[in-house]
Structure 1
Amino acid sequence: MHWRGKLWVGWHVNTYIRKRRGQEAVQAFDVVINGGGIVGLALACGLEINSLRVAVVERKDPEAIPLTNRTSLDVLTINTASRRLLQYLQVWDNTIEQHANPYQVMEIWEQDSFGKIAFDGAQLGYLKLGYIIENSMIHYALWRRASQLAGITLMNHASLRQVAWGQNEAFITLNDDRMLTARLVVAADGANSWLRQYADIPLTFWDYQHHALLATVRTEQHHGNIARQVFHGDGILAFLPLRDPHLCSIVWSLAPDIAHQCLIQSTDRFNDALAIAFNLALGQCELQGIRQIFPLRARYARDFAAHRLVLVGDAAHTIHPLAGQGANLGFMDVAALLGELKRLQKAGKDIGHYPYLRCYERNRKHRAALMLASMQVFRTLFDGKHPLKKWLRSAGLRLADTLPGVKPRFIRQAIGLNDMAAWLAAKSFD
């Protein structure tokens, strides 16, 4: 237990007793989740299915029904494993299916070279590699589902003020002086996690020295439900196919100065630069709406678990968005934790006891480390304009496209088969 936890235990227990004597309500839960994003809500729904009492603490109001006539820049790539989890949670319904755009093929190439590789899910018997959908649609569906479950208490417009890690439970004070107890507290509060910092968990952090530019573009040619990615001297550009056959969401990884220039330049100049970088693969491109940029940084928490505390999603790790695996990695944290807590429940174990949480921690730290390492190698290899490096990249792509076994392995990774919890893989869905 960290010194701060020890310091606050005595104060918190005494306050807890005084509150009880004053007949003020103290709410008891099995699990308190700090953060009502897609990962936190998915975990809450899964825990409720396992008959645990859950509270979700979230600063913001629940989102309204997403507008269907406007495309958000915040889109997710949902792979097969994550879709299975959402099906298990009874969140992936007809509404989601109507808004999620499936893609069957992924194409990757080096600009102005012979290097190209294509991945087709049909090679492993999968008609879809994944789905592109707005984050707001998934979030709204999860919030709606959580609101329907009797075992979940949603506390919006609330935040944690203090947490004390007692021997048998955690004592939590909210910003409005409400008090909660929980056998386990979960940090699902994002990359800048307040709870992770409060628990003094160190963070490995590095800057990719690139910014991501996000935009929605209309393409001259039909995107064909193919996800495309091109490497060029200044960065990496991905086109993600949306429901409209001529709309794509783009993620463009660029040096900060170039990204800023692309952000402020005229629409016509931006459209021209985009078409050139993309080798006119879909003809002329027309910007739709606004552009946004944000810095690309990787984060990796030293600990994913502690006494009565677990980290999930971006609170534990963040990766380069061009992998398209950020949300999927978080959802698989959820699947792994659900399986582990169910096992502990069945055995009558304390779900907040750190030694029992080590299995989850080892599993997810290993998976996150592999993803971060592969992305670092990937970025290093495809960064730069040196002719020899460019030739090696092109040759590598061409070789990977022809070597037996390479593409099936990549496809299994892309659709999440290598990271799916055993209990989830065993489930059958219509």
Structure 2
Amino acid sequence: MVAADGAQSPLRTLAGIETSAHDTGHMAVVTTVRTERAHGGVARQVFLPTGPLAFLPLTVDGDDRYCSIVWSTSPREAARLVELSPDALGHALAAAFESRLGGVEVVDRALAVPLTQRHARTYGQPGLVLVGDAAHSIHPWRGQGVNLGLMDVAVLAEEVLTARQRGMSIGHESVLARYTRRRRGDNATMLALMDGFRLLFGSRHPALTLARNLGLSGVDRLVPVKRLLMRQATGHRGRLPAACR
């Protein structure tokens, strides 16, 4: 059985699999909107002083002007935003997003969700394997949670196919062991990296701001380092599954 049932995974809980977790200190304001202009199937994100705001493309009845909103911000600001009227929240979203998709109409209730980073201590047990947010949940910066989840699925599919070709049960412990070995380290690295970015970009301390700007400027000049970070962020590291080559 594959547990792909989200960060609060009931299957993970029923299996007794523990997680390490910590509060990021941010809340995500989530809702659904309809924009004036079509999104073209492109996810967009802007970075604000309080955190990133993402417009994630949706299609409803063939209309590609719908987006799922994830606005990461402080608990105080999140509480203020969810109390706004739909019209006022739409105006706030359009302004924060610099009207990239024109006007914004809020078409669903806005909720504030705590952002907690979690990582399962093990990725499963015989007959059960965790993928995506059930295995790891990450701060929504640069959409890395989706990338990690897709890579989990690609690696698991490859290991299952290999087991079938060898005449093994797909629930065999060795399948889980190989999947875990290929994914858990990479996921842990990305969780740590994204948490570091959250702390670095979320701070307004002058010293950290200066260090951040100098560091980014230096990385931009060091092409090999820049390429390494890009490969880490896009999942192009280690042994890639065939579907991603």
Q: Is TM > 0.5 for Structure 1 vs Structure 2?
A: yes
2:9 match: 193
**Match for 1:354: what amino acid?**
E
**TM-score normalised by L of structure 1:** 0.47
Q: What displacement does 1:236 show?
A: 2.6
Distance 1:275 1:353 in 2: 51
Number of equivalences: 240
Distance 2:128 2:155 in 1: 15
**Match for 1:300: what amino acid?**
H
1:227 match: 44
Q: 2:208 aligned to 357, 376, 389, which one?
A: 389
Report SS of the residue matched to 2:223. Answer: coil
Q: What displacement does 1:226 show?
A: 7.6
When residues 425 and 235 of structure 1 are mapped into structure 2, their CA distance, relative to the original with a 3 A threshold, is: closer
1:218 match: 35
Distance 2:237 2:156 in 1: 17
Distance 1:266 1:308 in 2: 47
Q: What displacement does 1:292 show?
A: 3.2
Distance 2:125 2:41 in 1: 47
Structure index of larger Rg: 1
Distance 1:261 1:198 in 2: 36
Q: 1:288 aligned to 106, 125, 143, which one?
A: 106
Residues 329-364 of structure 1: per-residue CA shift (max 9 Å, x gap): 222222212221222232233433324531111112
**Match for 2:105: what amino acid?**
L
Report SS of the residue matched to 2:159. Answer: helix
**Match for 1:317: what amino acid?**
H
Q: What displacement does 1:324 show?
A: 1.0
Q: What displacement does 1:302 show?
A: 0.8
Q: 1:337 aligned to 144, 156, 163, which one?
A: 156
Q: CA RMSD in A?
A: 3.5
Say if 2:137 is the partner of 1:318.
yes
Segments of 5+ residues of structure 1 without an aligned counterpart are 1-32, 34-185
Residues 71-122 of structure 1: per-residue CA shift (max 9 Å, x gap): xxxxxxxxxxxxxxxxxxxxxxxxxxxxxxxxxxxxxxxxxxxxxxxxxxxx
Distance 1:391 1:284 in 2: 34
Distance 1:402 1:248 in 2: 36
1:377 match: 196
Residues 36-60 of structure 1: per-residue CA shift (max 9 Å, x gap): xxxxxxxxxxxxxxxxxxxxxxxxx
Distance 2:218 2:103 in 1: 31
Matched-pair identity in % = 41
